C-alpha cells in the first residue's frame, strides 16, 4: 500500500517570489513546473555532498534498500531542528528495518556538520546548495537565507544558505520507486508517520 499526502505550496520563500523581474529565474520556474513526481514513479538519481564533504550517491542505495529523503528549509531553524530530533529518536528502529534516512537542504556541508554535531544527529545530511535535486523531485525552491549559530570554535557566526526548499518527505522503496510522498509535513510528527508507513509495508 502506498500513501500520497498533498497540500498547497507552503509560504516559506517560494521560488515565485524570486522570479519577478528576472527572466532567467522565470524560465527556471517555468521548467520547474514540469516536474511532478508521484507515488509509483522511479526516483530521480542524485549525487550530493554530505556533512563530511563526501559524495553520497543514490546509485549505491536506490533499488537496494528503503531510503527516506526529507527535504527541509534550513539547519538551526526551530521546525527543522524539531524534525531532525524526531528522526534521531526514531533512527534505531528505522535502522533495524533496513531503512536509511537522509535530510536534504540548501545548507553547505560545513553548516550541516555544525548542525549535526549540535543536535547529535545519527543520520546523513546532504547539501543541495543550488536546489537542483529538490527541483528534480518537484520540491518548491525559493531564495536562500542566513542563520546564526556557533562555529567550530564555539563562536557565534552567521551561516548562509544557498536556497530554501519546501518541507517535503519521500520514501523510496527497495524497487527504486517512490512509495510515499508527503507535501504537508509536520516537523515533529514526520518520523512517526514514516516509521508507521514502512512498518505497515514490511508486514505485507
DSSP 187: G
Residue 1 corresponds to which cell in the numbers above? 500500500
Q: Report d(CA 21, CA 64) in Å as an integer.
A: 44
- The reply to whether 80 belongs to the active site is yes
CA 32, CA 63: separation in Å to the nearest integer? 26
CA-based R_g, the chain, Å = 16
Q: How far apart are CA 145 and CA 158, in angstroms?
A: 10
Q: Are 102 and 96 spatial neighbours (Cβ–Cβ below 8 Å)? A: no
Q: 19, 46, 68, 80: which is the annotated catalytic residue? A: 80
Active site residues: 80
Amino acid at each position: 500500500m502506498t500513501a500520497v499526502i498533498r497540500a498547497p505550496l507552503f509560504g516559506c520563500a517560494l521560488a515565485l517570489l524570486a522570479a519577478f523581474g528576472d527572466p532567467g529565474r522565470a524560465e527556471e520556474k517555468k521548467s520547474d513546473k514540469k516536474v511532478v513526481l508521484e507515488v509509483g514513479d522511479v526516483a530521480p538519481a542524485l549525487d550530493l555532498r554530505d556533512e563530511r564533504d563526501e559524495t553520497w550517491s543514490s546509485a549505491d542505495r536506490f533499488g537496494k534498500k528503503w531510503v527516506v529523503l526529507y527535504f527541509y528549509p534550513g539547519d538551526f531553524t526551530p521546525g527543522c531542528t524539531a524534525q531532525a530530533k524526531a528522526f534521531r529518536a526514531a533512527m534505531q528502529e528505522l535502522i533495524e528495518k533496513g531503512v536509511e534516512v537522509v535530510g536534504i537542504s540548501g545548507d553547505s556541508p560545513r553548516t550541516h556538520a555544525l548542525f549535526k554535531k549540535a543536535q547529535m544527529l545519527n543520520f546523513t545530511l546532504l547539501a543541495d546548495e543550488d536546489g537542483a535535486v529538490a527541483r528534480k523531485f518537484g520540491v518548491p525552491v525559493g531564495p536562500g537565507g542566513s542563520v546564526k549559530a556557533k562555529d567550530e570554535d564555539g563562536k557565534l557566526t552567521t551561516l548562509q544558505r544557498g536556497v530554501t526548499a519546501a518541507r517535503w518527505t519521500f520514501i523510496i522503496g527497495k524497487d527504486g520507486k517512490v512509495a510515499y510522498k508527503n507535501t504537508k509535513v509536520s516537523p515533529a510528527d514526520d518520523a512517526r508517520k514514516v516509521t508507521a508507513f514502512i512498518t505497515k509495508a514490511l508486514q505485507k
